[in-house]
Amino acid sequence: MTSAAPSDLATRPGRRSCHAVEATIREVWSEHFGRAVGPDEDFYDLGGDSISVVDVVVALRALGLEVRASAALRFPTPARLAESLTVGAGPAGLIDVPALRRPGDLAAATQLHPIRSGTGVPLIVVHSVSHVEAQRDAVRRWATARPAYGLTLPGGPHTSISALADHLRSFLPGGPLRFVGFGPGAAVATELARRYPQDTEPVVLIDPPAIGRPTGGPGSALDRILDRQARRFGLDGDETLPEVHAEMERAGWFRGTPTNGLPQLHRTAAGLAEALDEYHPEPFRGPAVLFHDASRDPTPAETWAPVLPDAVVHRRDYGICSPRRLIDDPLVATTASGALS
């Protein structure tokens, strides 16, 4: 089979990417409401109701989206509805992405990169796997004078989050240090913070996953991750690695990542997922600030509450799996800046 060109992947017949579906929904809603509609604007807040949703659903179906009125009302923002129609739907069984299983030419080695210069106690930012560039940009915008360094996570498998933190400590300078963690990096940041005196300054956790609750389901952790990627990016499984990367970058994922490093990064993500399933740490006896999307089930705050008994928790309500909203959230920027100033 001849693979489609990267520019065709988002719109070709059969499977559509989440960001392409979101764009279609926004276009239809904008026409219906007579103004531009953002990805997180609520159908009801815009003036929609159970009657007008019928017109919207008819218009979406005319453009090839299999949408029910009940789904449009249950997922009332373009971003939520798009995820429900892609990541949360589709054929039964796991979809494979062979291009992301090939041996990686670049190992996901631990690296410490400067993010910003400054004065004071250094800030160590433990990145997630998929949005490193966006996280660095966000930290640069924070109103803090501290120097900041980004810490990338090594490839797996990882025996435990604690063991991973012990390994990463060898790459860090002597203390004192302050820590921020994005996504799975939040657990690692917490374990690193145990190893350095934090005084009265908090460790900051942004969009941490639920912990200590094995997700289960068919296949391995890598199988399930690749299935979600296939559904999110509209992949059929016959794409080349450059095609897969082009589609991911179009949606803002893995920007700045070498294409031939993608398979190893997905193995890293799978190793982290397995380690987080078995993460049952002792309570962290220090201050913490946690930002999470309260629409997820279970909410991250529920699983983190025993670990961070003194945490200040900030709830957001985007209702999507993509981490980008919390990375760019103005409340996160303002609150994190204040906590770390």
How high is the pLDDT of residue 201?
82
Cβ neighbours, 10 Å, residue 81:
28
How high is the pLDDT of residue 170?
86
How high is the pLDDT of residue 5?
36
How high is the pLDDT of residue 313?
94
- What CA–CA distance (Å, rounded) separates 266 from 221? 10
How high is the pLDDT of residue 104?
62
What is the mean pLDDT of each successive set of 10 residues along the chain, which is 341 residues long?
35 72 98 97 95 96 95 95 88 87 66 91 94 95 90 76 90 88 96 81 93 80 95 95 96 92 92 91 93 81 92 92 92 92 79
Enter the pTM of the model.
0.89
Closest CA to 213 of 293, 274, 159: 274
Domains of the chain: 7-85 (1.10.1200.10), 94-341 (3.40.50.1820)
What residue type is assigned to position 46 of the chain?
A: L
Closest CA to 11 of 185, 333, 233, 279: 233
Closest CA to 321 of 303, 302, 295, 301: 295
How high is the pLDDT of residue 157?
64
How high is the pLDDT of residue 219?
84
- What CA–CA distance (Å, rounded) separates 220 from 223? 5
How high is the pLDDT of residue 8?
36
How high is the pLDDT of residue 4?
36
How high is the pLDDT of residue 22?
97
